Chain A
Amino acid sequence: MRDSRKLLSAPFLFWAAMFIIIPLCMVFYYGLTDKTGAFTLNNVLAIASPEHRKAFWEAIKLSVVSTVVCLLLAYPLAMILAGMKGNHDSFIILIFILPMWMNFLLRTLAWQTLLEKNGVINSVLAFLHLPALKIINTPTAIVLGMVYNFLPFMVLPIYNVLVKIDSNLISAAKDLGANGAQTFLRVTLPLSTAGVISGITMVFVPALTTFVISQLLGGSKILLIGNIIEQEFTQTNNWHLGSGLSIVLMLFIILNMVLSVVTDKDGEVNAL
């Protein structure tokens, strides 16, 4: 019985070995060696060079802003969705998820078309004799693209925890004298931290590592750490440096996730 169960996981184990473990090992191998194959930390330490540091900092900045914007948009929306009863909620969630069925690249390209100097939005604005919008190739455009692409990843986990909160808890808070704001701050919000944290992770990580959005909406002017790594692999052909920088990025994300879990526990204790 137990052996046959184990057997069921074989396809996935094979998959994981082929496409997760081995590639990861390769990244570490390339990242920690030079062209002669000798061990070196130079590829990892290369993050300290001004050019890389700037790209890394830019990526952190934009992904933090995007995550915050996503959170501010998603939480109220998730609350409204969770508060709805009947068939409406699944319909609205569908509308919400619908863009996700379209290819990620296409969506981003669509934004490019919309925002371009002579793009759709500016044509309309010109027709109305309004000043043209100049946000293509700026950080704003990148943030817009990130928020647009990653917003559902913030809404869904928050929505999922909110619908599971027992409505009696809300009634109990009211019964004990709490008004709407107090109920939200003391009951709803602390009970939804798990969803908020997973939403933040699901938005922050892809936003931090993206190179497509910054390439399409940021032009070549704004380089994020993702673009640098991509260039090392595809243009400069320096896999060692690309892997070294990837390792730094990976460690940074892992560190962040560990921190968020730890602070969450602290937050819970403080809320007592």
Chain B
Amino acid sequence: MAKTLVNLEKISKSYDGHLVLDELDLTIHENEFVTLLGPSGCGKTTTLRILGGFERPDKGRVVFDGMDITNLPANKRNLNTVFQKYALFPHMSVAENIAFGLKIKNKPKSYIDDKIKYALKLVNLDGYEDRRPNSLSGGQQQRIAIARAIVNEPRLLLLDEPLGALDLKLRQDMQYELIRLKNELGITFIYVTHDQEEALTMSDTIVVMNQGYIQQIGTPESIYNEPENAFVADFIGDSNILGGTMIHDRLVEILGARFDCVDEGFGENKPVDVVIRPEDVKLVVPGEGLIEGVVSHLIFKGVHYEMEVQAGGFEWLVQSTHMRPVGTKVSINVEPSNIQIMNKPASEDEEAVPLEV
């Protein structure tokens, strides 16, 4: 496994008595693309600001490359930030913006000029040296902000919802751009977003956060396919979350019907949460499935149809390329491997799962 670059140890932070982060532990490895994902107010931006040195944690330590930097001011940290609203200096040209950090470090002019050229080429904006930030589009400004950060050759790049203000098409282009940049530069990226699609597209590791706790840490595949609790399942993608009972290993009862599954070790006759992704729900001829139902809604979504099926007293969300008109009687079936069993949270607020990457 790659070398550890950053260690957050038992970080707590509260504003006006409101706890934002509660004993957060997180390990980030070198050359990793880590995404902090969660709804607004989950503590992801605060975590980033603590890393950047713009906030001090109330408790806990920030260890960077083996050194405790908890109390080191932002300007002395070997990392750079790409801010949400770009934060380009409006009184400087593009070249001046990019040169800012290097001039502070008193680098020779020839070195700075080379770096500006290199960085602009890297973000596909050669020839923009003399432009003013205000004369650039949002996407271009974002690229300049990234260029301004990476010329300083940081070990770690922090990105605070950098694509939040861009339109969909541009956002998708920039996602690929960021992946390419990360691979070319070999810098560790920590990326904050509330957009689950963005997180799934770009990350090596996703850290799902809610209410100051880490809910789950894992690869995009494992987060999507094996959510560990109902919050993660609900936040990442669409899902059907049902209450069920684990009869015994590899058999779960949902809405009165018994489904084969692949999960073990939950005990016998234990109440559990069950997640079934809408694309995993198979609609078959009545009588051939396990639960009988009727299609109640139908929407065309482009790549697939989205249907709601009333079955067993539950409204199932179903995605299928095969259209069934409203009113059609159907039967529901699910492959055993597509049924994801989760422990019910011990209590309503304690939804945190302490984990290491």
Contacts and interface: CB of A to CB of B under 8 A. Distances in A.
Interface of A: 166, 168-169, 171-179, 182, 186-187, 190-191, 268, 271-272
B235 interface: no
Given A179-B75, A272-B96, 15 more contacts: A166-B85, A168-B83, A168-B87, A171-B74, A171-B81, A171-B87, A172-B87, A173-B100, A174-B75, A175-B52, A175-B81, A176-B75, A177-B75, A177-B76, A191-B89
A176 B80 contact: yes
A172 B86 CA distance: 9
Nearest to A170: B87
6 contacts: A171-B83, A174-B53, A174-B54, A174-B75, A177-B152, A178-B75
Interface string B140-153: 00000000110010
Contacts of A191: 89-91
B83 A172 contact: yes
Interface of B: 52-54, 73-76, 80-81, 83-85, 87-93, 95-96, 100-101, 104-105, 148-149, 152
Contacts of A190: 91
Contacts of A166: 85, 87
Nearest to A183: B75
Given A175-B75, A191-B91, A168 B100 contact: no
Q: Sorted from nearest, which 5 A-B pairs have the closest CB atoms?
A: A176-B101, A168-B87, A172-B87, A174-B74, A177-B104
B155 to A, nearest CB: 14
B148 A272 contact: no
Contacts, number: 66
Interface centre among A169, A175, A178 (most CB of B within 10 A): A175
Contacts of A186: 100
Nearest to A268: B91
A172 B52 CA distance: 10
Contact of B87 (A169, A177, A268): A169
Nearest to B132: A272
A178 B289 CA distance: 66
Nearest to A190: B91
A272 B103 CA distance: 12
B152 A176 contact: yes
Contacts of A178: 75, 100, 104
Nearest to B83: A168
Nearest to A175: B81
A169 B96 CA distance: 14
A268 B91 CA distance: 7
Nearest to A191: B91
Interface centre among A179, A191, A272 (most CB of B within 10 A): A272
B74 A175 contact: yes
A176 B91 contact: no
B91 A168 contact: no
A205 B73 CA distance: 43
Contacts of B149: 175-176
A172 B144 CA distance: 13
A181 B84 CA distance: 25
A105 B85 CA distance: 49
B100 A176 contact: yes
A177 to B, nearest CB: 4
Nearest to B95: A272
B80 A175 contact: yes
B182 to A, nearest CB: 19
B54 A171 contact: yes
Nearest to B54: A171
B169 to A, nearest CB: 26
Contacts of A176: 75, 80, 100-101, 104, 148-149, 152
A188 to B, nearest CB: 11
A14 B87 CA distance: 46
Contacts of B104: 176-178, 182
A268 B96 CA distance: 12
Contacts of A272: 92-93, 95-96
A252 B88 CA distance: 38
A29 B95 CA distance: 53
A244 to B, nearest CB: 42
Nearest to A165: B90
B90 to A, nearest CB: 7
B52 A168 contact: no
B91 A172 contact: no
A271 B132 CA distance: 13
Contacts of B54: 171, 174
A229 B88 CA distance: 50
A270 to B, nearest CB: 11
A182 B73 CA distance: 14
Contacts of B90: 191
A268 B89 CA distance: 12
A174 B152 CA distance: 13
A179 B74 CA distance: 9
Contact of A177 (B83, B84, B89, B101): B101
A238 to B, nearest CB: 49
Contacts of B152: 176-177
Contact of B105 (A168, A177, A271): A177
